[in-house]
Structure 1
């Protein structure tokens, strides 16, 4: 079995390799192919992985290692792949800093996937991932594509337009929330112990856990009423206990940026650097140091850099250092591997995934959709059963009007950006930036468009028509 990782020079790729090499889910992978357009970064991550492999075999955690290949040739990397992990970052962390600063200069939220920064990220990324999808259709049409490229919702939606239901988006934040709640209730909600079930619905980075049923009883209202219990749930601490109680649901942590926008902007602007600037320097320093001939252990350097990165995640949303139990966890690599294992072996898994609102090619009737009010081809984030026959989204309760309105507004803005990315239309890009729920202004939308075109040569070259 061959796994191809696109964005193979990315900083977190060794986490994926470790999960694969140790057969953490019982699945044996024969070959891992790394692809990246940056040969130097690819060589550095390859050195980290080779060091990791030596440790894994020396400690007996891996009896044998998958063959490791690294290449800058996309089609060579894809040839014969059974699974493709897409984790590309177009423009690198340096481009992210532009996404953040243009928005902040206008008094708007500067964040990687939320707000106008997320739309700018999508605008320069979508043409690239669409080219990747077409290459997969040519070279590896049998492959399943597991997308972690952000903004994951609209990127997954675009790739599904080429490859259909074999593209699935993943994120580790929803299942992390469910696991935290399960630990409090003494039940493995993901495994379905004691007949456990839960209702999670939304878009990527915009979702809510609305019920948790154990032995036929919804336990979420009792949990929301318990201050001590909410103190153990990171999302409740971020958003506010009174709000989650009033809302009757536990939100994805990224709702912080929608519900506390002014506070987020104030905290970001008060910092010496944005998150993108921090990562650009931190990771830039890592790649330079690891490539230096004096570096005796790229792996050790990578581990220390990783812990600092994870501990400072979403730091602008917290009044405290991130708790160790919230730093540790399965991460997106575990989610991806569990998904891959279920499809390859037929062993059933319950997972929260980004999938089509209706199967590709299904009749566009509301009855065929998970959320009847949204388009059939919209990508939503819901509980799914995964097995050897594929990914099966599960029904959800009717979506409340306020949640539905926010979801619709966001996806409408992102779809305008997709139109701009595929047609070069400046007007579509303007509409997308203007319509985002954290912008809601054609004047600001026009200023964002000009700022991003000036800051990103790739966007300026793309937008060539009205």
Structure 2
């Protein structure tokens, strides 16, 4: 079995490799191809992975190390692949900082996937994602594509116009929420076939609305208990009284919609934005690790964590440098949403790599899985009437985030209850703005981009939309070149 990772020089790729090498889900991958447009990053992450393979073998955890290859050509990387993980970051962390700062400079939310920063990210990413989709359609038409690339909902929606139902978007936050609720109720909600749950929304905009065990909805019990809600990070950061009044547990990203001013204040009061932190931290890591790979001493002070030393210690190896940087990165994730250090139980659960591996394993082996995925509101290419759509009032080709059954025949979205008007309105407004951005990315229409920025629910202003567009054109040459009319 051949697995290709696009964005294979990315910082989190070793986490995927570890899941593959340890056969964490029982699936054996024979060939793993890493693709990246940056040869230095690709060489660095390849070295980290080789060190990780040696460590896993020494610890007796390696099940079957896949044959590892690196490629800078997309066509070469995807040819004959059975599965493709798309985890690209167009423009890198440096572009992310521009996305954030342009919005913050106008008093708007500067965040990677939520708000105008997410729209700018999509505008840069969708043209590249479409080229990738075409390459996969040509070189691996039977491959399943698992999209990690943010903003995952609209990027997946764009790629589906080429690849249809064989591209699926993933996120680890919804299933993490479900599992935490299950632990509080003393059962594995995902694995227990006597239990079910209703989760609906868009990527980074969804709600857990019921948890049914033995025929009884137990979510009201959770919502009614301050002690239980204290154990759920989403309730802590958004507010116990709010989630109780709303009657649902939200995805953690709803914080940015419900506490926008507070989020902006916290971001602007920090010394750096999240993008600036990661650009510095990961830039230091890649510099130090690449120097270690090439046999040159790391520059003094090159690593924020202080691990870039010489002398061959474990921490000065590419693997040691990566592990130190990973710990710092994970501990500070979404730090602006909380007052305390992130609890270990809040970050446990496997992350993207577990979700991706479970999805791939279910399709490859037929072992049934229940997962929350980003999928079409109806099968791709169909003009299904409203009654046959998951959310009847949304267009058939809208990508939504819902519970799915997965097996060897593919991904099967499950029905959801009627979506409340308020949630539906927010979902519709957000996706309409994202679709305008998608139109701009595919046609070069400046008016479409202006509409997208202006109508986002965290902007809602043609004047601010125009200023955002001007700022992003000035900050991103590729956006200025893209918007030709």
Shift of 1:458: 0.5
Matches within 5 A, 1:57-206: 57-193=57-193, 195-206=194-205
Shift of 1:62: 1.4
Shift of 1:63: 3.7
Secondary structure class of the residue paired with 1:100: helix
Supply the distance in 2 between the matched residues of 1:123 and 1:407 (Cα, whole angstroms).
Answer: 19
Shift of 1:368: 1.6
What do residues 325-364 of structure 1 show as CA deviations (whole Å, max 9, x unaligned)?
1122210000000000000000100000000000012233
Per the normalisation by structure 2, the TM-score is: 0.95
Other-structure match for 1:247:
246
Count of equivalent residues: 464
Other-structure match for 2:423:
403
Shift of 1:268: 0.4
What do residues 179-207 of structure 1 show as CA deviations (whole Å, max 9, x unaligned)?
000000000001125x1100000000000
What do residues 302-322 of structure 1 show as CA deviations (whole Å, max 9, x unaligned)?
111101101100000111111
Per the normalisation by structure 1, the TM-score is: 0.99
Other-structure match for 1:35:
35
Supply the distance in 1 between the matched residues of 2:155 and 2:480 (Cα, whole angstroms).
Answer: 20
Other-structure match for 2:289:
290
Shift of 1:427: 0.1
Does the CA-based 8 Å contact 1:384-1:392 persist in structure 2? yes
Matches within 5 A, 1:290-439: 290-292=289-291, 293=295, 294=297, 296=312, 297-439=317-459
Other-structure match for 2:301:
none
The yes-or-no answer on 1:49 pairing with 2:49 is: yes
What do residues 355-400 of structure 1 show as CA deviations (whole Å, max 9, x unaligned)?
0000012233101200001000000000000000000000000000
Does the CA-based 8 Å contact 1:148-1:171 persist in structure 2? yes
Secondary structure class of the residue paired with 1:287: helix
The yes-or-no answer on 1:19 pairing with 2:19 is: yes
Supply the distance in 2 between the matched residues of 1:459 and 1:154 (Cα, whole angstroms).
Answer: 17
Secondary structure class of the residue paired with 2:24: coil
Supply the distance in 2 between the matched residues of 1:145 and 1:63 (Cα, whole angstroms).
Answer: 24
Secondary structure class of the residue paired with 1:114: coil
Supply the distance in 1 between the matched residues of 2:121 and 2:63 (Cα, whole angstroms).
Answer: 40
Supply the distance in 2 between the matched residues of 1:361 and 1:73 (Cα, whole angstroms).
Answer: 30
Other-structure match for 1:444:
464
Supply the distance in 2 between the matched residues of 1:463 and 1:362 (Cα, whole angstroms).
Answer: 31
Supply the distance in 2 between the matched residues of 1:328 and 1:43 (Cα, whole angstroms).
Answer: 29
Supply the distance in 2 between the matched residues of 1:433 and 1:63 (Cα, whole angstroms).
Answer: 48
Shift of 1:176: 0.4
Does the CA-based 8 Å contact 1:4-1:33 persist in structure 2? yes
Other-structure match for 1:217:
216
Does the CA-based 8 Å contact 2:372-2:402 persist in structure 1? yes
Does the CA-based 8 Å contact 1:31-1:66 persist in structure 2? yes
Supply the distance in 2 between the matched residues of 1:187 and 1:63 (Cα, whole angstroms).
Answer: 29
Does the CA-based 8 Å contact 2:376-2:399 persist in structure 1? yes
Shift of 1:69: 0.2
Q: Which runs of 5+ in 1 are unaligned?
A: none
Secondary structure class of the residue paired with 2:328: helix
Supply the distance in 2 between the matched residues of 1:185 and 1:299 (Cα, whole angstroms).
Answer: 39
Matches within 5 A, 1:258-273: 258-273=257-272
What do residues 193-251 of structure 1 show as CA deviations (whole Å, max 9, x unaligned)?
5x110000000000000000001000000110100000000100010000000000000
Supply the distance in 2 between the matched residues of 1:402 and 1:328 (Cα, whole angstroms).
Answer: 32
Does the CA-based 8 Å contact 2:23-2:63 persist in structure 1? no
What do residues 427-464 of structure 1 show as CA deviations (whole Å, max 9, x unaligned)?
00000000000000000000000000000001000000
Supply the distance in 2 between the matched residues of 1:428 and 1:455 (Cα, whole angstroms).
Answer: 19
Off by >3 Å, runs of 4+ in structure 1: none
Supply the distance in 2 between the matched residues of 1:309 and 1:323 (Cα, whole angstroms).
Answer: 14
Does the CA-based 8 Å contact 2:331-2:342 persist in structure 1? yes
Q: Which runs of 5+ in 2 are unaligned?
A: 298-309
Supply the distance in 2 between the matched residues of 1:57 and 1:120 (Cα, whole angstroms).
Answer: 42
What do residues 2-59 of structure 1 show as CA deviations (whole Å, max 9, x unaligned)?
0000000000000000001111011000000000000000000000000000011111
